[in-house]
A and B are shown apart, each in its own frame.
Chain A
Amino acid sequence: MIENVNAVEVHGLRKDYAGVSAVAGIDLDIRRGEIFALLGPNGAGKTTTVEILEGHRRRTSGEVRVLGEDPGRAGGAWRARIGIVLQTASDAAELTVAESLRHFAGYYPHPRDPGEVVHLVGLEEKAGSRIRTLSGGQRRRLDVALGIIGRPELLFLDEPTTGFDPEVRRRFWALIERLAADGTTILLTTHYLDEAEALADRVAVLAGGRVVAEGTPATLGGRAEAEAVVRWTDAEGVHERRTQRPTTLVNELSAGGGELAGLTITRPSLEDTYLELIGERS
């Protein structure tokens, strides 16, 4: 069956608010076990899309299957198979980290061990602290812990590292990779292109409620085939040439077997490609 291949299937998804389309007909397939990133500027429809997939919002039209079920109708058994990391939450401030994890574990049929989850997100030292005393980054890690306590097959991460310092961010990435290695499908929305590039198997770029490009981070928007810029230096100074065939050019330039000083070959970065896709660069 198809749902064995794809964790998420979306066809022609639309969401209108008072006649304005926040999501204007998108198609997405997310395979099981993959890390999929949704990129896009604010207002592109990322959060709306994710909230429809999570069962938090109703759609105006379109087909949606998440783990084989329609999230608009799915019940508790389906919710036990997904994990949601909220973007902003300040709930349960008076509970301790360990208390809240133990409590939430009780909702699920096959939860992870709360102590193991505390360790996974690196909150050992804070396990006995009230949640209100956590820093912003610690709070987000607790949100992740609550998202994975039920051993979800599919994890939704909505801008998970906003406000993290670089070191915490790296640790967080390692955690996500570890979850993916255990077979968890991960749907991530993010503002950070380096995050998508580091983590995602595939990305889709949303703009104006539509998918404007989809692919691996390396090939997005024809990035792998785009013109390369070859730079080198010789006695006359710095040379720069744009070409579709950089290998051939370099071969020609070094035909005498000479070494080319300061040789670099660059393709457009993911950021260049992204900005072009969302129309921020002419």
Chain B
Amino acid sequence: MTAVTARGALAIGLARGAVELRQFFRQKETVVFTFSLPVLLLVLLGSVFGDVYPETGLPASQLFAAGMIGAGIISTSFVSMGIGVALDREDGTLKRLRGTPMPALSYFLGKMVLVAVSSLAQAALMLAIAVWLFDLTLPTAPGKWLTFAWIFVLGVTGCAALGVAASSLARSVNGAAAGMNIVYLALQFISGVFITPVSALPAAMVSVSSFFPVKWMCQGLRSVFLPEEAARYEMAGQWELGLTALVLGAWCVAGLLLCRLVFRWTNRRE
């Protein structure tokens, strides 16, 4: 690809991002549903977890809330991306785009803009609620926010790419929505999002979830928003940030490769 067409693809990608955002935020019901489901889970389950861990005096609700922020942005990346692409395939968006000179890369750039903006909004919303209802304290050290930044970027990129790949397996929007949500719910469960601390889960279950991004994103975010001593409630008794970066990075690469391999423009099989 020459420099000129790469620049063209970027410019069209940003224009697509603007169009994606406009369309997303104009559908009020979708916006409310997308953002409120993780919020609802955070508020309801967070209120149930009344325990305080004796070793550290940390409330279970804080442990849960920090992990739920990760679950929230997986919803806006993996689930929303998968359903969004399936919808584009069903309503003719992709077919129309396929008949224009728009580079395929621009389509994905546009989607990434949407996912980045909606995931940031989701994270901010979840964080605000966690601070307000569960007294989570925002870190002041820049290093913590740097950790947040790379976990966010790697996690959201990998999950979005996996969402696109997963959408190619479904034949319809309804199929995609059901399938994506089942995978998402199951992974949240076995990654210890709903059961805190994660070490309360059977070790075999966590061994399985350790292959997937959910566990690492939530663990990484707990390291950002919880005090150092909370690391004892992780499976390894420490935050394992190096391993987190490795797993999330690997999923980014795998997700993008899978995307290239299985992405389909239409629902038709030939």
Chain A residues in contact with chain B, CB under 8 A?
A: 17, 54-58, 76-77, 79-80, 82, 84, 86, 88-95, 99, 103-104, 106-109, 130, 146, 150
Contacts and interface: CB of A to CB of B under 8 A. Distances in A.
A232 B270 CA distance: 58
A46 B22 CA distance: 36
A75 to B, nearest CB: 8
B270 A58 contact: yes
Given A58-B270, A89-B92, A91-B92, A82 B19 contact: no
Interface string B11-22: 110011001001
B7 interface: no
A55 B265 CA distance: 12
A76 B99 contact: no
A108 B101 contact: yes
A80 B96 CA distance: 13
A97 to B, nearest CB: 14
Closest 4 CB pairs of A and B: A89-B92, A84-B99, A91-B93, A76-B101
B260 interface: no
Contacts of A17: 270
A103 B96 contact: no
B103 interface: yes
A237 B115 CA distance: 80
B100 A107 contact: yes
Given A89-B91, A106-B12, A107-B102, A94 B26 contact: yes
Contacts of A90: 91-92
B240 interface: no
B234 interface: no
A55 B268 CA distance: 14
Nearest to A90: B91
A109 B26 CA distance: 30
